[in-house]
Amino acid sequence: MGGFRNMTNQPPVLAIVVPCYNESSILADSARTLSGKLDEMNRSGLVAASSTVLLVDDGSTDETWRIITDLHREAPGRFLGLRLAANRGHQAALLAGLMEAMGHADAVISIDADLQDDIAVMPEFVKEFQSGHDIVYGVRSDRTTDTFLKRTSAQCFYRLLAWMGVKTVYNHADYRLMSARALAALSEYREVNLYLRGLVPLIGFRQAIVTYRRKAAVRPTQYTLAKMLLLAWDGITSFSVRPIRMITLVGILALVCCIVLLGYVLYSKLFGYTVDGWTSLAAIVLFFSGVQLVSIGVIGEYIAKTYMEVKQRPRYLVSERLELCDKDVDRT
């Protein structure tokens, strides 16, 4: 049986994991808002009083870690902190928080610090978990709050991943609930090139979807178009070999074209139709040179990822922890 096994009739301990990078302008308010949501769910009997908010500082250069430290000092039983030794990116920071929370929570919800994702549906996440689901995806019901460019790029992003054979949940980012069992399964995946949106669906177990409407951004997004394209490329090259197969197909088509052109050249030579063909020759050389360069680049990307995986360097290093004390633990 998956999900939460309520053997003691006690509500589950929930941890909310928040990756942070230079979030000093909003972090204190966001953290207290999440704490209030935990209090609300505790009063309704959905989660234990010992539920926590784990804030992960991804090598910020502003006052983010100081704010996390202050929050922990104010409420050590509610706010926990994890500081990475260097900036490793959103996915690594999120994974670090998930692995840290796995040891003291029955379930973990991940959410970005700007709280654009609607926290009002968190009780629905927990109810799905209590009904036996190990993974609950937060899926946007629409994208009316996005700009045209953001909406179009996001739709292209998901469609491209689907076409490339990458298993993802459409309109789902990293707002999700995972049970301790699902997190333990996730810890078995050792990829250095992280793309959690592709990894989590591979875990299996019982999964559910909760839809919500995302709030409009109150500040410029940190996920620029360039970062979105890079994330898409990481997802494709980490989970699909289709680009390599496309190169093979292009190679076969190129070979067929070459055979046809060779026949045309021989025919022209035999019947005396040869002319100065500089333009056609230059076009052919340029076209196939471009194809070869792109092909080498794609193959090189796969080789580079293999190179990174083989070295088995740590995905992140933790420099500081603000942990729970035994006296802070209360499951009532």
Angle made by CA atoms 305, 239, 108, in degrees to the nearest 5: 100
Q: Which amino acid is at 151?
A: R
Q: Does residue 3 lie within any of the structural domains?
A: no
- Helix spans in the chain (H): 27-43, 64-74, 90-101, 122-130, 148-163, 180-186, 196-203, 225-239, 242-270, 278-311
Q: Does residue 47 lie within any of the structural domains?
A: yes
Per-residue model confidence as pLDDT tens digits over 233-291:
666 666 665 666 676 667 667 666 766 666 666 666 666 655 566 556 656 766 676 66
Q: Does residue 9 lie within any of the structural domains?
A: no
50 vs 48: CA distance, rounded Å: 5
Q: Does residue 125 lie within any of the structural domains?
A: yes
Q: Does residue 288 lie within any of the structural domains?
A: yes
Q: Give the pLDDT mean for 43-59.
A: 92
Q: Does residue 7 lie within any of the structural domains?
A: no
Is 165 found in the same domain as 153?
yes
Is 227 found in the same domain as 86?
yes
Global pTM reads 0.69
How does residue 90 score in pLDDT terms, banded at 50, 70 and 90?
A: confident
Is 203 found in the same domain as 126?
yes
Is 231 found in the same domain as 175?
yes
Strand order in the sheet with 14-20: 207-212, 135-140, 172-179, 107-110, 14-20, 52-57, 79-84, 318-322
Q: Does residue 8 lie within any of the structural domains?
A: no
Q: Give the pLDDT mean for 16-44.
A: 93
Q: Does residue 2 lie within any of the structural domains?
A: no
For the chain, how long is the longest CA-to-CA vector? 96
**How many domains are there within the chain?**
2
Q: Which domain holds residue 296?
A: 242-311
